[in-house]
Amino acid sequence: MTFSLDSMKNVGIGGFVQYPVGWGSELQFEFKTDLTYVDQFIKGLKKILTRFPQKI
């Protein structure tokens, strides 16, 4: 996952998800949001990781 921040405090977020890891369906995403929504984004990611924990 990548994050970028511009001079107008806009955040770019990009990433790649695959489930099951290694051979499953893939999702690539990229979007921009305002800096004020980053905390909500991180909370959402934590919920996803709770539902789909990382398997090593």
Residue 1: its pLDDT value, please?
A: 87
β-sheet bridge partners, residue 29? 15
The pLDDT profile of the chain, 56 residues, written as one tens digit per residue, is 899 999 998 999 999 988 888 899 999 999 999 888 888 988 998 998 898 887 76
Residue 56: its pLDDT value, please?
A: 64
Residue 29: its pLDDT value, please?
A: 92
Residue 49: its pLDDT value, please?
A: 85
What is the C-alpha separation between 26 and 19, in angstroms, rounded?
7
Residue 42: its pLDDT value, please?
A: 87
Chain Cα centroid distance, residue 45: 6
Residue at 6: amino acid letter: D
What is the C-alpha separation between 11 and 48, in angstroms, rounded?
20
Chain Cα centroid distance, residue 36: 16
Whether residue 12 contacts residue 1, with contact meaning beta carbons closer than 8 Å, is answered with no
Residue 54: its pLDDT value, please?
A: 74
